[in-house]
Amino acid sequence: MKHVFILGTRPEAIKLAPLILELSKSRKNKVIVCSTGQHKSMLSQVLEFFNIIPDYDLNVMTENQSLFSITTSIINQLERVLEDESPDNVVVQGDTTSAFAGALSAFYKGIKISHIEAGLRSNNLNSPFPEEGNRKLIAQLASYHFCPTELSARNLELENIKDNVFVVGNTVIDALLLGLDILSKNEHKRKVLNEIDLSKRIVLVTGHRRESFGEPFQNICDAIIELSRKHKDLLFVYPVHLNPNVRSTVFHNLSKLESVKLIEPLEYPDLLWLMKQSYLVLTDSGGIQEEAPALGKPVLVMRKVTERTEGIEAGTAKLVGTNKNAIIKAVDDLVENRESYNKMAKAVNPYGDGTASKKISEVFN
Based on C-alpha coordinates, what's the Rg of the chain? 20
Q: Which of 208, 222, 226, 333 is catalytic?
A: 208
- The secondary structure of residue 194, as a DSSP letter, is G
More confident residue, 156 or 305: 156
Q: Identify whether 241 is a catalytic site residue.
A: yes
Are the beta carbons of 220 and 327 closer than 8 angstroms? Answer: yes
Question: Is 353 annotated as catalytic?
Answer: no
Looking at residues 263-283, what average pLDDT do you find?
92
Tens of pLDDT, residues 162-209:
999 999 999 999 999 999 998 888 766 565 677 888 899 999 999 888
Nearest in space to 184 (alpha carbons), one of 249, 272, 309:
272
pLDDT of residue 156: 98
Assess whether 132 carries a catalytic annotation: no
Identify whether 131 is a catalytic site residue: yes
Judged by average pLDDT, the poorest of 11-15, 80-84, 209-213 is 209-213
Interacting residues of 178 by C-beta distance below 8 A, sequence separation 6+: 17, 18, 21, 50
Q: Which of 114, 124, 293 is nearest to 211 (CA)?
A: 124
- Is residue 242 scored above 90 in pLDDT? no
208 is catalytic: yes
Burial class (CB in 10 A: 0-12, 13-18, 19+), 300: buried
pLDDT at 61 over 90: no
pLDDT number for residue 188: 61
Distances in Å between the Cα of 143 and the Cα atoms of 18, 196, 279, 320 are 21, 46, 41, 36
pLDDT of residue 189: 54
pLDDT digits (tens, 9 = 90+) for 129-151: 999 999 999 999 999 999 999 99
Mean per-residue pLDDT over the chain, rounded = 93
Selecting among 117, 267, 291, 310, the annotated active-site residue is 117
Q: Is the pLDDT of residue 75 over 90?
A: yes
CA angle 339/343/348 to nearest 5° reads 165
Catalytic residue (one of 12, 22, 85, 95): 95
What is the total residue count of the chain? 365
The catalytic position among 210, 222, 226, 333 is 210
Catalytic residue, from 115, 135, 231, 241: name it.
241
Of the residues 12, 131, 290, 307, which is catalytic?
131
Catalytic, 307? Answer: no
- pLDDT tens digits, residue range 304-345? 888 899 999 999 999 999 999 999 999 999 999 999 999 999
What pLDDT, on the 0 to 100 scale, is given for residue 167? Answer: 97
20-32 tens-digit pLDDT: 999 999 999 999 9
pLDDT at 287 over 90: no
Cα 313 from Cα 350, distance rounded (Å): 9
